[in-house]
Structure 1
Amino acid sequence: MFDILSTKRKYRALHGNSKNLHDEESEELLTDGDHVAALTARKSKAWIGFTLLNLVLFVASLTLRITTHYQYPPGKNAALKRLSYWSPILDDVEIPSFTAKINGTLFPKEHRSIAREEPSSVNDEAWHKFEKVLTHVVTRDEIIKLGKDPETVARFEDEYWGMGNDAYMVQLDVMHQIHCLNLLRKAAFAEYPGYSPELGPFDKMWWIHLSHCTDILLQNIQCAANTEVLTLAWVESRDVPWPDFSVNRQCRDFDTLVKWQQEHAVDADKFDKMPVPENAFKWPAPWKKQDFELGEKLGQQDSDLGLPESHSHGH
């Protein structure tokens, strides 16, 4: 009897232990299930994040592509427009580009450019034609595209030109640069044997003009900042390598610009005879009131240069 009671007690104890074991196993299974569920949730969140990131990158890429397309639409001078400020010529005529080798030899070749010709009155005449600056017509909206104030830009008066009231004056900057180069050329060769360039009186204004041209050319070189490199070579009787200035460059077709200028310019003789309109906006003369020039604040200047009202620095 005691054995039976003892057995029952043992059975009950064993039964109780089995229940506890079952509970522990259930808890372990539940814990494993929670772990798997949590891991799955984390993976789902990671995939959602990855998908959202890809979606954001796709939208950003698409937006950039669309913006670039409208800012630099394909067509005339599309590549050139990316590297240039707006100009009417870019919308008007295709400017070809080509690869060319710059002639950088120290000593001239058989076929010389205008810049390597011997200084003379004949050469000066060729330069005079080469540097010819002509004037063109643009609209008010195009003046704004140039970043200028139409109220201060000279207009072609309808009474004289018959162009209406939306005709403003512009000129090709590159031709002014050539003018400046020609001025420096004359100054550099002024003492060349047998050469007597027309340089005008060497007054204060002449030196100001010369320094202006030097500065303009330097700024344009810095702005263009070409990335070509020079190779070096050993030359007899020299202890240091000789630079090869004849580099290959990607060039714009300058002849296209010249042709466009000639075909679209107003009559030069009529322009030279044009009277100053009575109601034209006039800036103070910078050689008299030297605090500003065309609205630009100037530095400390000398006293009144005493220049006549009709003075022009040759541009």
Structure 2
Amino acid sequence: HLAPALGSVDSDYKVVRYAGLQDLNSPWRGEPRPELEEAWDNVTWEVGEIPVSKEEALRSGLLLDPNTLVRFPEEYGGQIYTSVEWNHHLHCLNMIRKFIRFDYYKDKEHSFSFPPEETINHLDHCVDMLRQHVMCTADQGLIFSHWVEGYDHKHVDFNTQHKCRNFRSALEWAMERAKHPKMEELVRHPGAVDLKDYPENLTRHGGGYEGNFYYQP
């Protein structure tokens, strides 16, 4: 399917070498600190939701009645309410990152304020969404191992080379279009139709998943 962003985001792939050192000094990892929180917030909470037209929604692979879709309030333009997939993936990674240091984040992360079983269910969902994404893309890059002077065991080089989509362009596209309505502002618009069940249940059978081994019913 064609996501609406693909027509606007820089389509040139760039050769990038991953930073794979286990003890890497990176703004994206390590102990909680302002630099770390800013890096993750800039690609998760700051992005917001994306308004799209009905035509863009249909081109993006919408499987259900578009009249059941949540829309932005009229003061935000009234278009269909969406979020970009990579933003959800990063949200999931951020949740897992914070759960690793639960003692620090337990009183700071809203998602951890729910009963423990709900938090675990949320994290399980995140892990399985990331699993499906990894299996869907199935990166065929090779990881090499080397002998290093002074060591009797192999040393794996995770600094592998990849062709990557221009993430900065994708982020800029999302930030330029993003809206930030409050949850209480999202109400049924005139003419809205209700689904008879959760959308995941309605698309699970006969809605594009048949033969999809990434999804296990």
TM-score band, normalised by the shorter chain? Answer: 0.7 to 0.9
Q: Tell whether 2:190 aligns with 1:274.
A: no
Match of 2:15, SS?
Answer: strand
Cα offset for 1:99? 0.7
Select which of 21, 25, 31 maps to 1:105: 21
Q: CA separation in 2, counterparts of 1:121 and 1:162? A: 34
Aligned ranges for residues 1-315 of structure 1 at < 5 Å? 85-108=1-24, 112-120=25-33, 123-132=36-45, 133-148=47-62, 149=64, 150-158=66-74, 160-163=75-78, 167-191=79-103, 195-197=104-106, 198=109, 199-236=112-149, 238-266=151-179, 268=180, 270-272=181-183, 274-277=185-188, 279=190, 280-283=192-195, 293-296=198-201
Q: CA separation in 1, counterparts of 2:57 and 2:203? A: 24
% identical aligned pairs: 27
Q: 5+ residue gaps in structure 1?
A: 1-84, 285-291, 300-315
Cα offset for 1:147? 2.3
Task: Report 1 or 2 for greater relative contact order, CA contacts < 8 Å, sequence distance ≥ 6.
Answer: 2
Tell me the residue number matched to 1:55.
Answer: none
Cα offset for 1:142? 2.0
- Closer/same/farther in 2, CA of residues 131 and 156 from structure 1, 3 Å limit: closer
Q: Is the 8 A contact 1:283 1:295 kept in 2?
A: no
Letter in 2 for 1:225: A
Q: Is the 8 A contact 2:145 2:156 kept in 1?
A: yes
Question: What is the TM-score when the length of structure 1 is the normalising length?
Answer: 0.55
Tell me the residue number matched to 1:23.
Answer: none
Q: Is the 8 A contact 2:73 2:186 kept in 1?
A: no
Question: What is the TM-score when the length of structure 2 is the normalising length?
Answer: 0.77
Q: CA separation in 1, counterparts of 2:34 and 2:195? A: 37
- Whose helix proportion is higher, 1 or 2? 1
Q: CA separation in 1, counterparts of 2:90 and 2:199? A: 22
1:246-283 Cα deviation digits (max 9, x unpaired): 111111111111111111123x1x45452412653344
Q: CA separation in 2, counterparts of 1:242 and 1:274? A: 54
Cα offset for 1:208? 0.7
Cα offset for 1:102? 0.6
Paired residues, number:
196
Letter in 2 for 1:214: V
Q: 5+ residue gaps in structure 2?
A: 205-217
Q: Is the 8 A contact 1:233 1:243 kept in 2?
A: yes
